[in-house]
Amino acid sequence: MKVMVPVKRVVDYNVKVRVKPDGSGVDLNNVKMSVNPFCEIGIEEAVRLKEAGSATEVIAVAVGSTACQEQLRTCLALGADRAVLIETTDEVQPLGVARALAALQAKEEAGLVIFGKQSIDGDNCQTGQMFAALANMPQGTFASEVTIEGDKVKVIREVDGGLQTVQLSMPAVVSTDLRLNEPRYASLPNIMKAKKKPLDVHSPQDLGVDVAPTMEVLNVAPPAERAAGIIVDSVEALVDKLKNEAKVIS
Amino acid sequence: MTLGDVERAAILAALFTYSAGGRLRMPTFLDEIFSPEQIARDDDSCANWGRDWTRDRAPAPSAVVFPKTAEEVQALVRRAAETATALVPSGGRTGLSGGAVAANGEVVVSFDKMNRIVDFDATDRIARCQPGVVTGALQSFAEDRGLMYPVDFASSGSSHIGGNIATNAGGIKVIRYGLTRDWVTGLQVVTGAGELLKCNQGLTKNATGYDLRHLFVGSEGTLGFIVEAEMRLAKAAQPHRVMVLGVPQFPDLLKVLAAFQQEITLSAFEFFSQIALDKVRAHRDLAEPLSTPTNFYALLEFDDSEEDAAMAAFARVMEEGWVTDGVLSQSDAQAASLWQLREGISESIAIYTPYKNDLAVKVSALPEFLTKVTDCVQAAYPDYEVCWYGHIGDGNLHLNILKPAALSIEEFYANCGTISPQIFALVEAAGGSISAEHGVGTLKADYLQFSRSPEQIAVMRGLKSLFDPHGIMNPGKLLV
């Protein structure tokens, strides 16, 4: 069984994001870019399935600029067998990505497609679900445990206030939550080997899809700065402020 | 007839009496200088502000004061000089040599309330800091302006800039960015004589004789107290990568260092032993970095842009057989977790109340030195675990001898004390330093002669009496 893992190139989780002064977006100049952490969990899960003998091949896929090759090489170093870049200079949005991946899935016929539940830049949490609809596949989102059972996959989902267990017929879509696994480090010998693994580049046109954005970003603004605190003289003054200014007690 | 300073001090000192608990009664002049909330005399405060990270001496100050201005510090020092009151400066209290311990009824001068960055000039790239600015706060301040304060170490979240300067703190990026000394462009200091000296006021070039600033850097509060510092900031760092390599043989670490330095600019080259790794992994619940454990590990940091050259160097050290395995961070989050393996060690071994030693020799002398010191400890106490880590790229080793659980702390420290002179003799023979970056404090004051000649120590004493004629500035530290 093939496992396909879409991965997104995003601003590193540890970077303090700065909004451009003109509000047109986030300043990416000299900023560390990495594999979206949830996608990294997806790669780790796929590699573990392969190590356990449940999967035969792990394919990492990215939709985006040529720079995404850097993140695909990371996935290859982490254990993916081959990588595909669907290259576009367009700004990538969930629907376009889902369409491109659905077209690729029609060719690859992967038994399992593991998405990150969302990307930490756009926070859309849409691509996996849109893909499932377009490819007409069942989906188990926000997975904290994935078990292959014959031609079915059991997914334990993190839902509000508890866990939900679902069983899906494969081919199926899974999206990863934070607790699914802890990704390994890329070993240097594997990074060297990854340079020789195949990385195919397609254009959206090759796949017969249009990934042009359908939404326009009008403005990006940073969160409002928190006002400075004050020191009050007495408990009475504090209670008064909490009651009448902050209105958090009555 | 007017009394001389010394006579007056002697008379006033005689007026102090010991309270029932044995603690020196608090000097009354503090109330004349400070408002009540700036003075603490309760046992909890005295215990808290009266010590650093060392635990070998119980804190027993007579009071803790929290000045808010340089003028208050100056007034305090002047009155302390008149009354022969010993003062101990206190910053983030993360020192490891007892430099900020007040165990003899001294007045602790905490800079906690002098914690503002007063001024910043983008053209000069200089931040004017009060001494109590936390190192991490200056780092964030720089980062917010697209710059960097590059001196960094495990305790940067607590340590103060003033303390960094007084100990000339080094840390993990010294190999590329140097020591605290290299970033101090100006200092304002209150000397033991109560004079306010403004040293160098932010100039890069200033060829007007003795650079007094550098006398205060690393002086451990024995000459004067820093009340303001002008700190230079650097261009922001490029995105970087962290590599951890498994190196079975210690001498090969140096070959690995040389191989990488030939190809790339390293911003860190750290090492730790398997024992250290085991402790930190257990303490912080961290994953094993390599699939094949080995005796020693090197942690390297370099700019993202040099990745290809670093990979070439890695290929070479693998071929040579110096390195058996390695990992490379793929994100800043991974870089941070790899750093934890190194930076978490000190904290993770604290439960073993380790006997710590912070030593430096020339990089080339490291392998022989490490072997000799390990042999020396093992010969005397074969059941003691020796935990090595440090900034090997600059010749700095942290030796930690871990206390066996069954042994009492007193017996353990006493035993380790008996081997200290042997270790320091090995340092002296290797032309090294008995304190690379932790300072001398009280812990190593008795051993200064292993790194400094009698002539040098005499000059140091001369400087001490020049700046601190009454002997009130952090007495009992560095020079005894």
Task: Tell me the per-residue pLDDT of B422-433, one tens digit each, with 9 for 90 and over.
Answer: 999 999 999 999
Residue B7: pLDDT band (50, 70, 90) is low
Assign a CATH topology to domain B240-346: Alpha-Beta Plaits (3.30.70)
Q: Counting Cβ atoms within 10 Å, is residue B214 exposed (0-12), middle (13-18) or buried (19+)?
A: middle
Q: Say what the pLDDT of residue B26 is.
A: 64
Question: Is A12 close to B329, i.e. CB distance below 8 A?
Answer: no
With CA atoms as reference, the chain A residue closest to B327 would be A187
d(CA B87, CA B66): 12
Which pLDDT band holds residue B22 (cuts at 50, 70, 90)? very low
Q: pLDDT by residue (tens digit) across B174-214?
A: 999 999 999 999 999 999 999 999 999 899 999 999 999 99
In the prediction, which pLDDT does B5 show? 54
pLDDT tens, residue by residue, B170-184: 988 899 999 999 999
Roughly what angle, to the nearest 10 degrees, separates helices B409-429 and B366-380?
Answer: 150
The neighbouring-strand residues paired with B387 are: B400
8 Å CB contact of B331 and A32: yes
- Domain ranges for chain B: 5-112, 117-235, 240-346, 349-459
What does the alpha-carbon distance between residue A73 and residue B293 come to, in Å, rounded to a whole number?
25
A174, A112 in Cβ contact below 8 A? yes
Is the domain covering B349-459 a CATH 3.30.70.2740 domain? yes
Closest C-alpha among A240, A94, A105, A195 to residue B311: A195
Q: What is the DSSP string of chain A?
A: -EEEEE--EEE-TTS---B-TTSSSB--TT--EEE-HHHHHHHHHHHHHHHTTS-SEEEEEEEE-GGGHHHHHHHHHHT-SEEEEEE-SSPP-HHHHHHHHHHHHHHH--SEEEEES--TTT----HHHHHHHHTT--EEEEEEEEEEETTEEEEEEEETTEEEEEEEESSEEEEE-TTS--PPPEEHHHHHHHTTS-EEEE-HHHHT-----S-------PPPPPPPP---SSHHHHHHHHHHTS----
Per DSSP, B405 falls in state T
CATH class of B117-235: alpha beta
Domains B240-346 and B349-459 share a fold: yes
Residues A6-63 pLDDT 10s: 999 999 998 888 899 898 889 888 888 999 999 999 999 999 999 999 999 999 999 9
pLDDT at residue B353, as a whole number: 86
The string of DSSP letters for B336-364 reads HHHHHHHHTHHHHTGGG--EEEEEE--GG
Residue B307 exposed, middle or buried by CB count within 10 Å (0-12, 13-18, 19+)? middle
Mutation target vs A (from B277, B300, B334, B338; most A CBs, 10 A cutoff): B334
Number of other residues whose CB lies within 10 A of the CB of residue A115? 31
The CATH T-level fold of domain B5-112 is 3.30.43
How near does any CA of chain B get to the CA of A150, in Å?
31
β-strand pairing of B39-40 with B63-65: antiparallel
Burial class (CB in 10 A: 0-12, 13-18, 19+), B205: exposed
Task: Name the residue among A35, A78, A182 with its Cβ closest to that of B287.
Answer: A182
Contact residues on chain B for A14, CB-CB shorter than 8 A = 331-333, 335-336
pLDDT of B21 higher than 50: no
Q: List CB contacts (< 8 A) between B340 and chain A.
A: none
DSSP string covering A199-249: EEEE-HHHHT-----S-------PPPPPPPP---SSHHHHHHHHHHTS---
- Between B287, B314, B335, which is nearest A188 by CB? B314
* CA pseudo-torsion sign B467, B470, B471, B473: negative
Assess whether pLDDT exceeds 90 at residue B8: no
Q: Is the pLDDT of residue B23 over 50?
A: no
Q: Is the pLDDT of residue B44 over 50?
A: yes
Residue with tokens 């047109």: A24
Among 3.30.70.270, 1.10.287.10, 3.40.50.620, 3.60.9.10, what is the CATH number of A2-244? 3.40.50.620
CB contact under 8 A, A188 and B311: yes
8 Å CB contact of B311 and A186: no
Percentage of the residues of chain B whose pLDDT score is greater than 70: 95
**How crowded is residue B360: how many other Cβ atoms within 10 Å of its Cβ?**
24
Compare CB distances from A13 to B244, B333, B338 and report the shortest one's residue.
Answer: B333
The reply to whether omega before A171 is within 30° of 0 (cis) is: yes
Rounded Cα gap, residues B401 and B357, in angstroms: 9
Give the B-side interface with A, CB within 8 Å.
Answer: 143, 236, 238-239, 243-245, 287, 289-291, 304, 311, 314-315, 318, 325-336, 338
Contacts of A10 in chain B (CB under 8 A): none
Task: Give the A-side interface with B, CB within 8 Å.
Answer: 12-16, 30-32, 34-35, 37, 40, 74, 77-78, 182, 184-189, 191-192
Helix (H, G, I), strand (E, B) or coil at B129: strand
Chain A residues near residue B236 by CB distance under 8 angstroms: 30
Inter-chain residue contact A186 with B290, CB threshold 8 Å: no
* pTM of the predicted protein model: 0.81
B13 pLDDT higher than 80: no
The region of weakest confidence among B10-24, B170-184, B211-225, B427-441 is B10-24
pLDDT band at A229 (very low <50, low <70, confident <90, very high): confident
CB atoms A32 and B287 under 8 Å:
no
The amino acid that residue A93 corresponds to is Q
